[in-house]
Amino acid sequence: MAPSLDFSRWWAKSNTSKGNPVVVTMENPNYSVLEINGPDEVFRPVDKDRGKNAKQFTWVLLLKAHKAVGCVAWLGNILWSLLGSIKKRLIFGQGVTVENEKSGKGRTLYRVIMGFLVMALAFLAFELVAHLKGWHYFQTNSLHIPQTLEIKGWLHSVYFVWLEFRADYIAPAIQALTNFCVALFLIQSADRMLLCLGCFWIKFKKIKPRFEETPLKSDDLEGAGCYYPKVLVQIPMCNEREVYEQSISAVCQLDWPKERLLIQILDDSDDDSIQWLIKGEVAKWNQRGVNIIYRHRLVRTGYKAGNLKSAMNCDYAKDYEFVAIFDADFQPNPDFLKLTVPHFKDNPELGLVQARWAFVNRDENLLTRLQNINLCFHFEVEQQVNGVFLNFFGFNGTAGVWRIKALEESGGWLERTTVEDMDIAVRAHLNGWKFIFLNDVKVLCELPESYEAYKKQQHRWHSGPMHLFRLCLPAIISSKMMFWKKANLILLFFLLRKLILPFYSFTLFCIILPLTMFVPEAELSMWVICYVPVFMSFMNILPSLRSFPFIVPYLLFENTMSVTKFNAMVSGLFKLGSSYEWVVTKKAGRSSEPDLLAVEERESKAMNHPQLYRGTSDSGLSELNKLIEHQEAGPKPPVKKLNKIYKKELALAFLLLTAALRSLLSAQGVHFYFLLFQGVSFLLVGLDLIGEQMS
Distance (Å, rounded) from C-alpha 511 to C-alpha 178?
10
Distance (Å, rounded) from C-alpha 508 to C-alpha 504?
5
Distance (Å, rounded) from C-alpha 384 to C-alpha 195?
9
Count of alpha carbons within 13 angstroms of residue 581, beta-carbon side? 19
Q: Percent helix, strand, coil in the chain (nearest 5)? A: 60, 10, 30
Q: Which of 268, 329, 423, 688 is catalytic?
A: 268
For 339-463, list the strands marked E by DSSP: 350-359, 400-403, 434-445
- Identity of the amino acid at 579: S
- Per-residue buried b or exposed e for 182-200, using 16+ beta carbons within 10 Å of the residue's own CB: bebbeebeebbeebbebbe
The helix/strand/coil state of 437 is strand
Distance (Å, rounded) from C-alpha 174 to C-alpha 183?
14
Question: Is residue 587 within 8 Å of residue 240, measured between CB atoms?
Answer: yes
Question: Is residue 659 within 8 Å of residue 122, measured between CB atoms?
Answer: no
Q: Check if 268 is active-site.
A: yes
Question: Is residue 329 within 8 Å of residue 240, measured between CB atoms?
Answer: yes
String of DSSP letters for 598-632:
HHHHHHHHHHT-S--PPPS-HHHHHHHHHHHHHHH
Question: Is residue 593 within 8 Å of residue 247, measured between CB atoms?
Answer: no
Q: Which of 267, 327, 329, 421 is catalytic?
A: 421
For 537-683, list the strands marked E by DSSP: 643-645
Distance (Å, rounded) from C-alpha 481 to C-alpha 432?
8
Distance (Å, rounded) from C-alpha 395 to C-alpha 352?
8
**∠ CA 457-463-468 to the nearest 5 degrees?**
125
Residue 352 makes CB contacts below 8 A (sequence gap 6+) with 395, 400, 401, 402, 403, 406, 425, 428, 433, 435, 436
- Cα-based torsion angle of the residue sequence 394, 399, 404, 410 in order, rounded to the nearest 10 degrees: 20
Cα–Cα distance list, 468 to 266, 301, 302, 420, 569 (Å)? 25, 18, 15, 9, 11
Q: Give which of 691, 549, 683, 574 is closest to 85, Cα–Cα.
A: 683
Catalytic residues: 268, 421
